[in-house]
Amino acid sequence: MRARLAAPVEQVVQNINVFLRGWAGFFRYGNSAREFDKIRKYAEMRLALFVAKRHKCGRAWGFAQICRSRDGFGLISLTEASSPPGLTSPGGLRSNTSREGRR
């Protein structure tokens, strides 16, 4: 982490998002809400530490910066990243956007 202190925050967040997408794919099946919550909190903690070290401030200051950010500095939501492609509704049905009739 120390070697990345010179890197832009956006680049670090992109690298974290790659790992988060991988974990979301691994825990996609089953009841994984607890695991997603643990992983998200850990990622937020590490990002807060990164931001705080970069500005030579405390961890609480880093958390405050993440909370003030509208999108959490761009961290992805694990619940959205884990949904299978093509599913648009909670019931798992695709919407009929092409207006073709039922078969």
pLDDT, tens digit, 9 for 90 and up, residues 10-21: 888 999 999 888
The secondary structure of residue 27, as a DSSP letter, is T
Residue 3, domain member (yes or no): no
Residue 95, domain member (yes or no): no
Residue 92, domain member (yes or no): no
pLDDT of residue 93: 46
Domain count, the chain: 1
Residue 15, domain member (yes or no): yes
Res 5 pLDDT > 70? yes
pLDDT of residue 64: 92
Residue 100, domain member (yes or no): no
Mean pLDDT of the chain: 78
Written as one string, the DSSP assignment of 39-96 is HHHHHHHHHHHHHHHHTT--HHHHHHHHHHSTTGGGPPPHHHHTSPTT--STTSPPP-
Residue 90, domain member (yes or no): no
The pTM for the full model equals: 0.68
Domain hosting 40: range is 8-81
Res 67 pLDDT > 80? yes
pLDDT of residue 60: 93
Residue 31, domain member (yes or no): yes
